[in-house]
Amino acid sequence: MAQASGSGPAELQLNLRLPIDELHKSTVRGGVALSNSDVRMTPDTPALTRARGVVQFSDSGFSLKDVHAQALGGAVQLEGGLQVLPANAASSASALQMRGQGSASAEGLRQAPELGFLAQLAEHASGTAPYTLALTMRRGVPEIAGTTNLQGLAVNLPAPLGKAADSALPMRYTTTLTPESLAPDAPLHEDITLDAGALGSVRYVRDISSSSSAKVLRGAIAVGLGQGEEAPLPEHGVAANLNAAHINVDAWEAVLLPADKKSSAAPVATAPSPASADYLPTTLALRTGALTVQGRTLHDVVAGGARDGAVWRVNLDARQLNGYLEYHPAGAPRAPNGRLFARLSRLEVPPSSADTDTDTDTAAAVEALLNEQPGSLPALDIAVSDFHLRGRALGRLEVIATNHGSEGAQRAWHLQTFNLTTPEAALSANGSWALLNPIASTPGAQRRTELSFHLDINDSGALLQRFGMAGVIRRGKGQMRGQVRWRGAPLSPDYASMNGQINLNFESGQFLKAEPGLAKLLSVLSLQSLPRRLTLDFRDVFSQGFAFDFVRGDVTLAEGIASTNNLQMKGVNAAVLMEGSANIAKETQNLHVVVVPEINAMTASLVATAINPVVGLGSFLAQMFLRGPLMQAATQEFHIDGTWADPRVERVQRGSKDAAVPTPAATPPSTEGATE
């Protein structure tokens, strides 16, 4: 009897692919006594260390007697052996019959790289669990049947696979040749199944004829279908049927992504490798109460989709959206940085009060995502028929945006199209979002948003009402156009850093008597504060709201200060000319206001002349008084400063406004019963 022993542990290789007829011809007899030896059954199986026991050989095979060893961080006991099959044995018979039972630790699983994906999952486990194992072999291919209840092993994985150490989760893992593979010359097809009972199951049929790699022929993934329910195997591809209370794609991505991609602050979803893509679903049926993707959660989700290569096409219905989505990951054809194409009938980005199931404000999450490096997001081609933002119905939305630049280079968003259409108005814009300093590409570096926009308004009052500012303006139509830029993300305008130019041109409306809290700057422009502080001269004009034939002018923005020198408002009984500035962030103003009352044909034609912003209000007034000297006596000038909520009005003496000394405006003797 031979014995494996010595100063160090011996290693015994049992090549289980040894042809049975060769073993029979060798007529080997005797045995090997294992004493603290290392044994590896096949190159793809974990080593058995500190093995003790006897391997007995005969001319018909070998058998194990009282073999104990260490494997996967725990003890294991083995029995069984290999016997030469008779010539008339059934094709389903196995010459090898080995059985084992033992325990495996999370640490031991992590130190067995030959287990592949299982070793990766063990990074998120702790403790020890028992198992049983059966090993057979047909046509030279090992077949495994292993069972465990995982009791004693804590699993820190996302739902539904997470569990405490003291809870049980029965699982069975099997690999067998398919029945059609048992014929001597048939291709070798292997059936792999992981069954977790009511939790779900995973099953793949693979072609293992090639010694270099296995190819998935078809598969089925079932989660949450109930005890005994499993997704049927499709004719080809991999079908997934998922039903769960919560599916967190971000959490699973953190588990499954390689370590080098986990270290990235903003990983870009890339097309899977061809080998791993074989195991991913090609068709998907999904039902879940909550689906978390890219930091945002959708509720009451029902989806059906299909994958073509790396591209997913999905029909999706959820509480927040409904429609069709198409996702091209980074690296996919024609999408080097990824691309999201969506045609939605409805999309809601709710405030935190609507997100009753999470603590995250969805709108704030979108803004936080936009503050990341632009390369972390795919190109966007989105159209939404009914778009809601923070409880406001904003009509139809169209967005086309791409990000440019590669890893290590300057990246920037380019917004080719941003259209928002409601019954009251239509906004069209384009622009960019990039680093302020291309060299400062470190995380946290400041970025700047630049937008060119054109807003066509059919009904100003109805539009403001849509945004929660009812009763500020009645009717009014016209245009706003301009260019603005600020530090920060597109959805978070930073007024203190805002710069740009805006042109206003509105007609046929009326400023209503609104509380300053609703639209503070508009309440200043309406001049409704004048009647409270002046004589009764202008009460009929401004008290109940200034009705205008037009409002027009140019506004320049510089670090959050809005300035104008040519703002004009013309009504039936008066015209208002205005120059000065307003601090948008601090909500204060410093304005010079000229009121020209009693409009007649001559004064109307003069006031109707647009003020050239190069000339400014001063030169325009001089020319106007020269052509209509009677207007000068009736015209009054005022200085308005203070806050938007509580403006301060002072009458300015006639003459150059720069040389004029403001005097407090007269106040009526009594305002009791008067309309303010």
pLDDT tens readout for residues 30-51: 555 656 666 666 666 677 888 8
Report residue 341's pLDDT band, with 50, 70 and 90 as the boundaries: very high
Beta carbons of 471 and 514 less than 8 angstroms apart:
yes
Determine what percent of the chain is predicted with pLDDT higher than 70. Answer: 72
pLDDT tens digits for 415-424?
899 999 999 9
Q: Compute the distance between CA of residue 668 and CA of residue 539 in angstroms, rounded to an integer.
A: 11
pTM over 0.95: no
CA distances from 438 to 217, 498, 659 (A): 48, 20, 47
pLDDT at 495 over 90: no
The pLDDT of residue 655 is 56
More confident residue, 278 or 6: 278
What is the Cα–Cα distance from 233 to 240, expressed in whole angstroms?
10
Buried b (16+ CB within 10 A) or exposed e, 55-69: bbbbebbbbbeebeb
Rounded CA-CA distance 409/152 in Å is 49
For residue 110, pLDDT over 60 is answered with yes
Mean pLDDT value across the chain = 77
Query: What string of DSSP letters covers 593-629?
Result: EEEEES--HHHHHHHTSPPPTTTHHHHHHHHHHHH-H
Average pLDDT for 648-671: 53
Q: What is the pLDDT of residue 9?
A: 39
Average pLDDT over residues 13-19: 40
φ/ψ of residue 249, rounded to 5: -65, -40
Confidence of residue 430 (pLDDT cuts 50, 70, 90): very high
Say which amino acid occupies 178: T
User: 529 in helix, strand or coil?
Assistant: coil
Which residues, 6 or more positions from 283, have their beta carbon under 8 angstroms from its beta carbon? 234, 237, 238, 239, 240, 305, 306, 307
Burial of 276 (0-12, 13-18, 19+ CB in 10 A): exposed
Residue ranges with strand state E in 250-295: 283-293
Average confidence (pLDDT) over 529-535: 42
Q: What percent of the chain has a predicted confidence (pLDDT) above 90?
A: 30
Query: Is 56 in contact with 63 (CB distance < 8 Å)?
Result: yes
Residue 155 has pLDDT above 80, yes or no: yes
Please count the other Cβ atoms lying within 10 Å of the Cβ belonging to residue 564: 22
Q: Strands (DSSP E) along 309-404, which ranges?
A: 311-317, 321-328, 339-349, 379-389, 392-404
Is the per-residue pLDDT at 402 higher than 60? yes
Instruction: Tell me what pLDDT residue 324 has.
Output: 97
pLDDT digit string (tens) for 265-295?
Answer: 444 455 555 566 788 899 999 999 999 987 7
Residue matched to tokens 């993934």: 221
- Residue 508's pLDDT band, with cuts at 50, 70 and 90, is confident
Q: What is the tens place of the pLDDT at every residue in 223-246?
A: 988 765 666 899 999 999 999 999
Please, how many CA atoms are within 13 Å of residue 322, restricted to the half-sphere of its CB?
7
Please report where in the chains the tokens 């000038």 appear, as a residue. Answer: 637
Distance between CA atoms of residues 624 and 622, nearest Å: 5
Residue 663's pLDDT is what?
41
Q: What is the mean pLDDT of residues 122-149?
A: 90
pLDDT-derived band at 335 (thresholds 50, 70, 90) equals low
Q: Output the pLDDT for position 658.
A: 46
Q: Using one digit for the tens of pLDDT, what is the confidence trace for 634-647?
A: 788 888 888 887 88
CA angle 10, 11, 15 (to 5 degrees): 150
Quick one: pLDDT at residue 455?
Answer: 95
pLDDT at 648: 85
Residue with tokens 């593979």: 181
- More confident call, 390 vs 53: 53
Read off the pLDDT of residues 558-575 as tens digits, 9 standing for 90 and up.
999 999 999 998 877 778
Total H helices, total E strands in the chain: 14, 34
How much is the pLDDT for 36?
64
pLDDT of res. 305: 96
What does the alpha-carbon distance between residue 35 and residue 517 come to, in Å, rounded to a whole number? 88
Give the range among 106-115, 158-167, 538-547 with minimum mean pLDDT: 538-547
Average pLDDT over residues 197-218: 88
The pLDDT score that the predictor gives to residue 673 is 37
Model confidence at 548: pLDDT above 80: yes
Classify residue 361 by its DSSP letter: -
Q: How far apart are CA 311 and CA 221, in angstroms?
A: 19
| Lowest pLDDT segment from 83-87, 248-252, 443-447, 537-541 | 537-541
The residue that leads in pLDDT, 517 or 186, is: 186
Dihedral sign for Cα atoms in the order 605, 606, 607, 613: positive
Q: Has residue 165 got a pLDDT over 50?
A: yes
Structure confidence at residue 509 (pLDDT): 85
Q: Tell me the Ramachandran region of residue 86: left when phi exceeds 0, alpha when psi lies from -120 to 50, beta otherwise.
A: beta
Q: What's the pLDDT band for 133 if we cut at 50, 70, 90?
A: very high
Q: pLDDT class for 8, splitting at 50, 70, 90?
A: very low
- What's the CA dihedral at 327, 383, 346, 159 to 10 degrees? 20
Mapping DSSP to helix (H, G, I), strand (E, B) and coil, where does residue 294 land? coil
Of 242-256, 368-382, 425-439, 493-507, the least confident: 368-382
Q: Can you say whether residue 68 is alpha, beta or left, with left for phi > 0 and alpha for psi between -120 and 50 degrees?
A: beta
Task: Please count the residues of the chain.
Answer: 676
> Which are the contacts of 356, defined by CB distance < 8 A and separation ≥ 6?
none
The answer to whether residues 418 and 394 touch, using CB atoms and an 8 Å cutoff, is no
Least confident of 112-121, 370-379, 592-601: 370-379
Query: Rounded to the nearest 5°, which phi and psi values hold at 85?
Result: -85, 145
CA 672 – CA 676 distance, rounded (Å): 10
Place of tokens 């050989």: 57
What is the reported pLDDT for 654?
A: 65
User: Is residue 544 scored above 70 in pLDDT?
Assistant: no
**pLDDT digit string, tens, across residues 138-154:** 888 888 899 999 999 99
How does residue 204 score in pLDDT terms, banded at 50, 70 and 90?
Answer: very high
Mean pLDDT to the nearest integer, 296-321: 92
Confidence check: pLDDT of 4 > 60: no
Here the tokens at position 521 are 């700057």
Residue 675 reports pLDDT greater than 60: no
